[in-house]
């Protein structure tokens, strides 16, 4: 999976459609040049909002025969690793070669962790212990593990995936980069500068070398919200401002400098430097004045961006 990939966030309108219309929307996404759809995972975010990442991923995978599906990002510290490993194995069986597992630890809303019985200060440690257990189970091992957060004895998952499931780690901290180097197949950045993106993948490479993982075929990505309007940049910014403030419940100014907006060409121009910095997967959450235009406008961004970059070398 070392070629340039494009993902589109689940369209705003999708789950309000009937089954046949959902299938058609996924067909439209594939025809528009996207390799995957991606979705978030939350249990009870801010005002109680959320959706179960695995349930939605399983539903999306059955709506199209070839489009990949990525959970980006799954809040791993909220769950026990054994059922998560089972869910990954089930996705690998029902959508072989089409499931990408994005992992994060959350933290934007500490109360979400607290209501799940998780100490927010322990979320990084829980994720690391979980990944140790999950990777062993998916490799077919019988796993016994005694950690500060999780203990399992002679745990197994059968059948194991016939094809490997890429695990992409999210997070902006150095701890997230260390987690990627130790466990991941790639890192996905969000709300970071091009300079930080390039630094991050360099840190990952160095840490992976130290961990004896220098041979990983990395898939590093960037996942921005973008505002797009075919003709009026000011409407594009207004759309993404409304979308982000509605979801995160904090002022748009906190995100503005990392949030491309404008015409499709302008958005692509703002994203292209991340490709030069090593990004090989763009997951874009498109916000538009008219939600029914998200797919078409996202497709225009992809077309423009593809025209700006050459074929990616193997990394």
Work out the average pLDDT over 97-121: 94
Work out the average pLDDT over 161-179: 97
| Cα distance between residue 122 and residue 108, in whole Å | 14
Encode pLDDT of 228-275 as tens digits: 999 999 999 999 999 999 988 889 999 899 999 999 999 999 999 999
pTM: predicted TM-score of the whole model, two decimal places: 0.94
pLDDT of residue 3: 83
Work out the average pLDDT over 18-33: 97
pLDDT of residue 310: 66
pLDDT of residue 47: 87
CATH superfamily of 5-220: Luciferase-like domain (3.20.20.30)
User: Does residue 299 have a pLDDT over 80?
Assistant: yes
Which residues, in sequence order, are CB contacts of 282 under 8 Å at separation 6+? 4, 5, 6, 7, 221, 222, 223, 271, 274, 275, 302, 305
Rounded mean pLDDT of the chain? 95
Can you give the residue ranges of every domain in the chain?
A: 5-220, 221-315
User: Does residue 42 have a pLDDT over 60?
Assistant: yes
Cα–Cα distance list, 99 to 57, 65, 89, 108 (Å): 8, 12, 10, 26
Question: Looking at 1-15, 138-152, 240-254, which range is the least confident one?
Answer: 1-15
User: Does residue 12 have a pLDDT over 90?
Assistant: no
Q: What angle do CA 68, 180, 282 make, to 5 degrees?
A: 40
| Cα distance between residue 232 and residue 275, in whole Å | 26
Question: Looking at 54-68, 197-211, 236-250, 300-314, which range is the least confident one?
Answer: 300-314
Work out the average pLDDT over 150-166: 97
Name the residue with higher pLDDT: 144 or 249: 144
């Amino acid at each position: 999976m070392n070629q340039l990939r494009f993902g589109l966030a689940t369209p705003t309108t999708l789950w309000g459609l009937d089954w046949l219309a959902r299938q058609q929307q996924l067909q439209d996404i594939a025809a528009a040049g996207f390799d995957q759809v991606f979705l978030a995972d939350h249990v009870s975010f801010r005002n109680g909002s959320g959706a179960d990442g695995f349930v939605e991923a399983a539903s999306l995978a059955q709506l199209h025969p070839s489009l990949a599906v990525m959970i980006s990002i799954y809040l791993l510290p909220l769950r026990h690793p054994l059922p998560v490993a089972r869910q990954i194995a089930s996705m690998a069986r029902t959508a072989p070669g089409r499931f990408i597992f994005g992992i994060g630890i959350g933290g934007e809303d500490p109360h979400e962790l607290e209501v799940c019985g998780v100490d927010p200060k322990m979320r990084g440690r829980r994720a690391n212990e979980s990944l140790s257990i999950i990777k062993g189970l998916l490799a077919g091992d019988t796993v016994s593990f005694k950690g500060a957060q999780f203990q399992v004895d002679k745990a197994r998952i059968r059948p194991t995936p016939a094809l490997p499931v890429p695990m992409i780690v999210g997070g902006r901290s150095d701890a997230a980069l260390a987690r990627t180097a130790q466990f991941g197949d790639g890192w996905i950045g969000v709300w970071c500068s091009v300079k930080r993106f390039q630094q991050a993948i360099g840190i990952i490479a160095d840490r992976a070398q130290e961990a004896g993982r220098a041979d990983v075929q990395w898939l590093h990505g960037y996942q921005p919200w973008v505002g797009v309007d075919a003709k009026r940049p000011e409407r594009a910014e207004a759309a993404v401002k409304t979308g982000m403030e509605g979801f995160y419940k904090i002022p748009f100014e906190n995100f503005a400098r990392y949030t491309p907006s404008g015409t499709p060409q302008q958005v692509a121009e703002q994203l292209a430097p991340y490709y030069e910095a090593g990004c090989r997967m763009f997951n874009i959450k498109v916000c538009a004045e008219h939600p029914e235009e998200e797919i078409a406008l996202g497709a225009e961004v992809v077309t423009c961006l593809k025209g700006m970059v050459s074929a990616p070398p193997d990394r």
